[in-house]
Amino acid sequence: IQSTPGQTEFYQAVEEVLISLEPLLRAEPKYDQYNILERIVIPERQILFRVVWMDDQGKIQTNIGYRVQFNSAIGPYKGGLRFHPSVNLGIIKFLGFEQIFKNSLTGLAIGGAKGGSNFDPKGKSEGEIMRFCQSFMVELSKHIGETKDIPAGDIGVGGREIGYMFGEYKRLTSRFEGVLTGKGLNWGGSLARTEATGYGSVYFAENILNKAGDSLKDKICTVSGAGNVALYTIQKLYEMGALPVTCSDSKGMIYDKNGIDFTALKAIKEVARKDLSEYIKIRPNAVYIPLSDYPQGTNAVWSIPCFAAFPSATQNELNLTDIQILYKNGCRLVNEGANMPSTPGAIDFMISHKMFYGPAKAANAGGVATSQLEMSQNASMQKWTFPEVDSKLHSIMKSIFDLAYATSKEFGNEGNLMLGANIAGFRKVADSMIDQGAV
């Protein structure tokens, strides 16, 4: 911490993992003997670079680009790219650190990384987005490769941005290779990758409830976010017989008590890229609450009564006050589609009140798992059908749940999936680091 001051989100992510590891570290002195903790919190490599691009007025603009290659003990680096004005090194490091354990939990051979830029795609023209992505790739291309580091999307990076970056990578290297995932279906993408994080999150929640003899059927659910993860969480919730009644973006939230209209939401956010306030023009009976009207210190999404909450927007979007309100209103399950959406206070509350809690690194691992399925298809020059990919995703989410559950039981805390996921994810990486010597 002394050598990396001010990286608040990174410390938060590290603290959560390290506290969970205590029972394992007590039982297995080898991790201390090989100094694993000190090694695992330092990235193998972090790259910070200048991204210069020209806006539509002919003015030169500058942003900062990042790629943190955190850990390659079990496979090549893998993790998304985030374009958002809030991006800084601490945020990329928290995401990269989480990614190590998430990727390990999938059971697939992928190491942990994350990257991005403080570039704000909002309000930019198509040409500006393209020129930024191209300039970003000019530097990034020097550090990635299909067996080295394979970035994907995250906040602000979807199919369009992946396309511009892939085109530039090809131009720079003359190689058509699976260097990015989330590619278009005509040029190496996998069916069901777009849907995978949201679908996987719902499969994970269903596993939690099935274990307790319950299911999502007929349950009212709240969802935050209106991007990739939120959208396909909402779609899959309907398929499971649940009723998703909320969504949100950075300007406000929608409460539609009859259920969010998936088609309208997709048209507004994914296709037209407009604000959520447009939704009430199509569904006049829904309620729109602008951000400025949220009660201070709370996220209005969590004031809506529900059985299950699916935070799917961003980090620290569900705090202690929010969880207290959710609980009072009957909520019993929080399943994290976003990365680190719950604050430490909210997590403590969930655990002490014996709520069902699907922690991000397990619950949202379906996206990266399906990215690895995209890599497998690229490497073998095959193309699997949507049901084939979806069924693999379904079984990966079940095996992640089973592993996290079994590990929680092994360490005397049955059902604490945060502890189970952290220990199981860590153990495989740490053992691999020991096998590979002092590197």
66 contacts 89 by C-beta, under 8 angstroms = yes
Find the length of the chain: 439
Rounded least distance, CB 161 to ligand NDP, Å: 10
Rounded least distance, CB 30 to ligand NDP, Å: 31
Binding flag, residue 298, ligand NDP (CB under 6 A): no
181 is in an annotated binding site: no
Closest alpha carbon to 276 in 249, 299, 311, 300: 249
Rounded least distance, CB 99 to ligand NDP, Å: 9
Binding flag, residue 227, ligand NDP (CB under 6 A): yes
**Residue span 397-436 as binding mask against ligand NDP, x where in contact by CB under 6 A, dash where not:** ----------------------------------------
For residue 360 the two structure tokens come to 């991000």
Using the minimum distance from each CB to ligand NDP, give the nearer residue, 24 or 99: 99
Residue of this chain nearest to ligand NDP (CB atom) = 227
Identify the bridge partners of residue 60 per DSSP, sorted by sequence position: 54
Active site residue 114: yes
Rounded least distance, CB 354 to ligand NDP, Å: 26
Concatenate the DSSP letters of all residues of 90-145 into one string. Answer: HHHHHHHHHHHHHHHHTTSS-EEEEEEES---TT--HHHHHHHHHHHHHHHTTT-B
Using CB under 6 A, pick the residue from 225, 244, 358, 425 that binds ligand NDP: 225
Query: Tokens 């009644």 identify what position?
Result: 245
Using the minimum distance from each CB to ligand NDP, give the nearer residue, 219 or 269: 269
**Residue span 262-291 as binding mask against ligand NDP, x where in contact by CB under 6 A, dash where not:** -------x----------------------
* Amino acid identity for residue 352 in this structure: S
- Set 30, 93, 114, 257: catalytic member: 114
Name every residue whose Cβ is closer than 8 Å to that of residue 431 and which is 6 or more positions away in sequence: none
Interacting stretch for ligand NDP, rule CB under 6 A, among 37-45, 47-55, 310-318, 409-417? 310-318
236 is in an annotated binding site: no
Using the minimum distance from each CB to ligand NDP, give the nearer residue, 270 or 410: 270
Query: Tokens 């190590």 identify what position?
Result: 100
* Amino acid identity for residue 411 in this structure: F
Binding flag, residue 154, ligand NDP (CB under 6 A): yes
Identify the bridge partners of residue 335 per DSSP, sorted by sequence position: 358
Q: Compute, in degrees rounded to 10, the torsion defined by CA atoms 390, 232, 341, 295.
A: -160
Using the minimum distance from each CB to ligand NDP, give the nearer residue, 195 or 206: 195
Rounded least distance, CB 287 to ligand NDP, Å: 18
Closest alpha carbon to 64 in 83, 79, 80, 45: 83
Strand order in the sheet with 246-248: 246-248, 252-255, 287-290
87 contacts 121 by C-beta, under 8 angstroms = no
Residues annotated as catalytic (active site), given as ranges: 114
Binding-site residue numbers for substrate are 78, 99, 102, 153, 371
Q: Which residue numbers belong to the known binding site?
A: 78, 99, 102, 153, 197, 228, 371
Residues near ligand NDP, by CB under 6 A = 153-156, 158, 197, 225-230, 249-251, 269, 312-314, 337-339, 364, 367
